[in-house]
Structure 1
């Protein structure tokens, strides 16, 4: 499969947040971009044009007039962006991460992350930068603005950072309560980053956690329940588990794991936003967001 290197003006709009008609005006009036044409005379933009537009949009959103930006050469634009990045670090980081994604540039990703980490905790980076980045990347993938390999590249780099910080929490673990959690993803659920961050949050709050990962059948959870009848399971769903509705999955969970004693399940992810809370059993707790998970964990601390 070839990697996408040609972009329509709609792709540029999706990636930069600048409306297509505005891009056309900038192109015609200020010659900011120079589109190419296919053999069938269809306009397209190359990767350099995309990266230039990301830089231009950063300065434009920071308050610079487009006429002023148009007078600058590439080195002047980059120098100005570096100067302004200190004041608007999150937006700069988002653009840098997108550039790293298109260039498959792991060094740029790591450099940008390091700069963020000098001023922010990992939790702040995840909520303020990684979540907006992954949300935008997901939309870009669904609209075919980017290739699956782009989405996979950046997601794996983010996942790696979460895992590194999980390891740090394990090394510096300080117990604050007796509750134990087990984290898992159902079959066909492919988005693991959310569950990994749940693991990070649980450890940060001082609770023991068993991380099982993806493609875990409900029946296999019985072994953990036998070992610890009070264990709380945590799952993160962005797709229908195993091709079923979320309600069917919850019913199956109750039937298999709550036959003799209540066995609690905490559910997070985009699919839980659609759940009617009055239609689910008491064993299942819907947690609308990762922020709510952190608040919930803090209320459970004993010391």
Structure 2
């Protein structure tokens, strides 16, 4: 469906997978591996950016529909709120949207800030909640060589606070965690940690 821009074929295929596997398993075992393959195809010029954008937007639509259809969880004031965000210059949000959907499914309170959130906004967001954990899944930003500096900046900025961060993505493969920060290379590890 990607090469021919066939939305109906995409929907039929995804609906069949959801019927057989369930929504979450379809995302984990079909959609996310497919996106990884699309990324390789794009990097090797086997497909054009329009093909990748077409598929990514269809997956986003599917996730937004699932999120919108789910109940917003009732939470106690002392429950930890998961604040989902992507750092500045990071726009690859599909994994983060899936985490947001899982929060709804598992009754966890989450706030989705989305793409390219300025770091300097995070302390103000944290101040809005008694218990907060920031969650991000990075694909391209920060760059791998900047990942440790990003982790260290979080450590300095939130030192002495109860705020925690869960960072995931291959960009963090060489990064060492600091107090209050966990680092996972894969989305699967992040999901296991959160749910």
Q: TM-score, normalised by structure 2?
A: 0.89
1:297 is aligned to 194
8 A contact 2:167–2:182 mirrored in 1 = yes
- Return 5+ residue gaps in structure 1 as ranges: 1-99, 299-303
- 1: CA distance, partners of 2:188 / 2:144: 28
- Return 5+ residue gaps in structure 2 as ranges: none
Matches within 5 A, 1:1-303: 100-170=1-71, 173=73, 178-241=79-142, 245-256=146-157, 258-275=158-175, 277=176, 280-298=177-195
Q: If each structure's strand is expressed as a fraction of its own residues, which one has the higher value?
A: 2
Higher relative contact order (CA 8 A, sep 6+): 2
- 2: CA distance, partners of 1:109 / 1:214: 25
Q: CA deviation at 1:289?
A: 2.8
- 1: CA distance, partners of 2:113 / 2:184: 20
Q: TM-score, normalised by structure 1?
A: 0.59
- 2: CA distance, partners of 1:221 / 1:267: 14
Identify if the C-alpha distance between structure 1 residues 162 and 135 changes in structure 2 by more than 3 Å, giving closer, same or farther. same
Identify if the C-alpha distance between structure 1 residues 271 and 244 changes in structure 2 by more than 3 Å, giving closer, same or farther. closer
- 2: CA distance, partners of 1:182 / 1:124: 23
Q: CA deviation at 1:182?
A: 0.3
Query: When the two structures are aligned, how many residues end up with a matched partner?
Result: 194
Identify if the C-alpha distance between structure 1 residues 228 and 174 changes in structure 2 by more than 3 Å, giving closer, same or farther. closer
Q: Deviations over 1:209-228 (max 9, x none)?
A: 01000111111112222122
Identify if the C-alpha distance between structure 1 residues 120 and 147 changes in structure 2 by more than 3 Å, giving closer, same or farther. same
- 2: CA distance, partners of 1:188 / 1:244: 15
- 1: CA distance, partners of 2:16 / 2:127: 46
Q: If each structure's helix is expressed as a fraction of its own residues, which one has the higher value?
A: 1
8 A contact 2:171–2:185 mirrored in 1 = no
- 2: CA distance, partners of 1:291 / 1:259: 28
CA RMSD in angstroms, aligned pairs only: 2.2
Runs of 4+ in 1 over 6 A off after TM superposition: none
Q: CA deviation at 1:240?
A: 3.2
